[in-house]
Structure 1
């Protein structure tokens, strides 16, 4: 399915189900656009941190990739365990399960953009949010997705 349109549809659904979040986002948009002559400029979009939180929470709840498949490029011993990943071994990373694990995201099925406040992001392991994968094999769609979402913010 098409990533940007699906994400926007899920985002609109969550905003409809959570009017307090919708109101907070509306106020942010209204205040920021007032400072920018009503135009959703690049700078204006950069001044909408709550918008980013809402989008990130939407991507956590409804990531387009439920799993990531990778091939180990060198033998690797997992720290603090007896597990060894051999070179050439196929690895599946269950992103949906990680994004909905209460150890990392309490009440994982609750739509909570504040999970993406700077403080709460710092408290989490950096690899428990993987809507597009991570590292050199990150989905190239992320570049197109951010461009589309930025246009849709208008």
Structure 2
């Protein structure tokens, strides 16, 4: 009797584990199927009175639904729009400060304006300033994403 109870207990335990594996496999299959795009074809045909095809137009469209486990839970357009507003308001710099080739309203800078290569010299100088500007923009973007959307930033290990 004791052996029968032990055998029954072992079989019950094994059958429970087998059911869990099936559920895990189903979840895995569901995740893979949800990674497939939702596809749609629209075909428009126009025929003349005799039944001949005179126009044919088709549109193929597809979209992805949110994939389980995906770190993006928001609309990317919304993230980009929020960043644009953040960038315009909180950025410590302005575009026109970096891309203005015309002299400032200061007599100290006016002599430079009358040089033969005024724009070329400004362009060369601005090339170095542009690198610093781009670093500042990247820094602003990184702080925005870390603050408002943690988990979206790719780590350097991924690259």
Q: Same fold (TM over 0.5)?
A: no
Structure with greater Cα Rg: 2
TM-score, with structure 1 as normaliser: 0.26
TM-score, with structure 2 as normaliser: 0.25
Q: Which has the higher contact order (CA 8 A, sep 6+)?
A: 1
Bigger strand share: 2
